[in-house]
Amino acid sequence: MRVSKEKAAENRERILRSAARLFREQGIASTGVDSITKDAGLTHGGLYSQFGSKEAIAAEAVRFALARGKRVWQRTLERNPGKRALPAIVDSYLSRAHRDAPGSGCVVAALGTDIARQPRRVRQAFTREIKADLEFFSRLMAKGNRTLSYENAIVAFASMAGALILARAVNDEALSDLILKSTAERVIKRAKVRKAVRRSRVATTKIKER
């Protein structure tokens, strides 16, 4: 029996939601098609008619999860405009809640090393979305040199993702909390220092011009 376009789209999203969560919880290699179809409440036929292969599912699930993560950042930015945006995003990312929910959290922290071993198609999808994430994050950095803001965004996000990986890996709760807290404080502090240094340089330049 043929399904409507609306139903097909609904089924596709159910598959992507299930795959994205299971991949983050169990890893891509450890998650079989059976697990995805069972979680989504669909058949193998329905899954393969939508995607054709597990590789295609992995590529689309990675893209889907990263795009959703960027929308979360966008909503945080809308609720915390201006200077409050970066601290709000960093605090939310490096929180206990995020640490304890890998299935609904950052794809980079959950699957970064796994994706490095995936086929080209999956890595391309990951790379495309990460570039968009870094562009978004760079706009929260100190204004001015675009290249420097982008590089600072790379350093900040790499620090955050690395801290989340470590915080999940250790079995010492106090150490895990400290990793999150100290990294969040320093990422935010470095952003503030860069802005302060930039304002100081601008002020100095104006004085010289006089």
16 lies in a domain?
A: no
Residues ≥6 apart with Cβ < 8 Å to 191: 86, 140, 141, 142, 152, 156
Domain CATH for 121:
1.10.357.10
142 vs 148 pLDDT, higher one: 148
Tell me which range, 18-27, 42-51, 136-145, is most confidently predicted by mean pLDDT: 18-27
**In the structure, what pLDDT confidence band is assigned to residue 131 with cuts at 50, 70 and 90?**
very high
52 lies in a domain?
A: no
Residue type, 77: L
- pLDDT at 3 > cutoff 80: no
Gap between the Cα atoms of 171 and 89, Å rounded = 25
183 lies in a domain?
A: yes
**Across residues 107-112, what is the average pLDDT?**
95
pLDDT at 43: 85
31 lies in a domain?
A: no
Q: Which domain holds residue 143?
A: 61-209
Q: What percent of the chain has pLDDT over 70?
A: 88
pLDDT at 146: 87
Record the pTM. 0.84
- Structural domains counted in the chain: 1
11 lies in a domain?
A: no
pLDDT in tens, 143-160: 668 898 999 999 999 999
* Per-residue CA distances from 192 to 61, 83, 157, 178, 181 (Å): 35, 9, 16, 21, 17
**Across residues 96-106, what is the average pLDDT?**
96
- 178-187 contacts at long range (C-beta below 8 A, 24 or more positions apart): 180/94, 180/95, 180/96, 180/99, 181/94, 183/94, 183/159, 184/90, 184/91, 184/93, 184/94, 184/160, 186/159, 187/90, 187/94, 187/156, 187/159, 187/160
pLDDT at 161: 97
160 lies in a domain?
A: yes
CA dihedral over 63, 68, 70, 71, signed as positive or negative: positive
Gap between the Cα atoms of 107 and 63, Å rounded = 9
Q: What is the mean pLDDT of the chain?
A: 88
